[in-house]
Chain A
Amino acid sequence: QQQVKQSPQSLIVQKGGISIINCAYENTAFDYFPWYQQFPGKGPALLIAIRPDVSEKKEGRFTISFNKSAKQFSLHIMDSQPGDSATYFCAASKRGSARQLTFGSGTQLTVLP
């Protein structure tokens, strides 16, 4: 059962543009939603995370928007840069089980110079 669905699979954006990646979840017990960034040959690294008690969280050029009623959340990358080119994974976890992460399938972002 795919509990976290991510789209699009790939995304190409011009430098300076806005990149938007969407995720939807099914399990209402999820209460922590991180985004991970993965460069080729590297492991995923935490980028930004949100809890469902807020609708938006911003850190620099990265913003998570969260819609609890729709069970959807998205990552917005403002002023996208070629260095942002990577694969992005959304994930979700719930209390207990040491917060085991359920990952989406990933979005390969390419920012053109």
Chain B
Amino acid sequence: EAGVVQSPRYKIIEKKQPVAFWCNPISGHNTLYWYRQNLGQGPELLIRYENEEAVDDSQLPKDRFSAERLKGVDSTLKIQPAELGDSAVYLCASSLVSGANNEQFFGPGTRLTVL
């Protein structure tokens, strides 16, 4: 079974430029998460989807960040415009919300560098 797929794996942009990350969750997983992981830190939740609905986006900086999950499968996270402080690894995870322990499966992440 394929895991969570993310692309691109690496992205280098100049500040003020837009950037987008794509995530394909594990088939059948209806809950999708986007996390940001700063260097030397644990992942921090940005947004959580249940199917196509964003049910928790309280930590998403809405002035520059946006996300969508069309048809409740793939998801895209966008930053516009990017700032130096946005440099981090952006992780996507998915889970079966009905799972007993709701184990989250993480993708490899996209490492963003903003120059």
B interface residue count range (under 10 / 10 to 19 / 20 to 34 / 35 or more): 20 to 34
Cα(A91)–Cα(B103), bound, Å: 12
Cα(A91)–Cα(B102), bound, Å: 13
Residue from A32, A103, A104 with most neighbouring chain B CB atoms (10 Å): A103
Cα(A32)–Cα(B104), bound, Å: 13
Contact B50 A100 (CB under 8 A): no
Q: A98-B55, A106-B40 are in contact. Are A45 and B102 (CB under 8 A)?
A: no
Contact A98 B97 (CB under 8 A): yes
A interface residue count range (under 10 / 10 to 19 / 20 to 34 / 35 or more): 20 to 34
Chain A residues with Cβ below 8 Å from B95 are: 98-99
A-B contact count (CB 8 A): 58
Contact B44 A43 (CB under 8 A): no
Cα(A91)–Cα(B44), bound, Å: 11
A89 close to chain B: CB less than 8 A: yes
A28 close to chain B: CB less than 8 A: no
Chain B residues with Cβ below 8 Å from A43 are: 4, 91, 93, 106-109
Task: Across the interface, name the chain A residue whose C-beta is closest to B102.
Answer: A99
Task: Across the interface, name the chain B residue whose C-beta is closest to A2.
Answer: B42
Q: A43-B107, A46-B103, A106-B40 are in contact. Are A101 and B31 (CB under 8 A)?
A: no
Task: Across the interface, name the chain A residue whose C-beta is closest to B103.
Answer: A46
Contact B43 A103 (CB under 8 A): yes
Q: Which of B71-115 contact A (CB under 8 A)?
A: 91, 93, 95, 97, 101-109
Taking A98-B48, A106-B40 as given, write out 16 further A-B residue pairs in contact, using a Cβ cutoff of 8 Å, ordered by the A residue number: A9-B40, A41-B108, A42-B109, A43-B4, A43-B91, A43-B93, A44-B43, A44-B106, A46-B104, A89-B42, A91-B42, A93-B102, A98-B55, A103-B42, A104-B42, A106-B41
List 19 A-B residue pairs with CB atoms under 8 Å apart, sorted by A's residue number. Answer: A6-B42, A9-B40, A34-B101, A34-B103, A43-B4, A43-B106, A43-B108, A44-B106, A46-B103, A97-B48, A98-B55, A98-B95, A98-B97, A100-B45, A101-B45, A103-B42, A103-B44, A105-B42, A106-B42
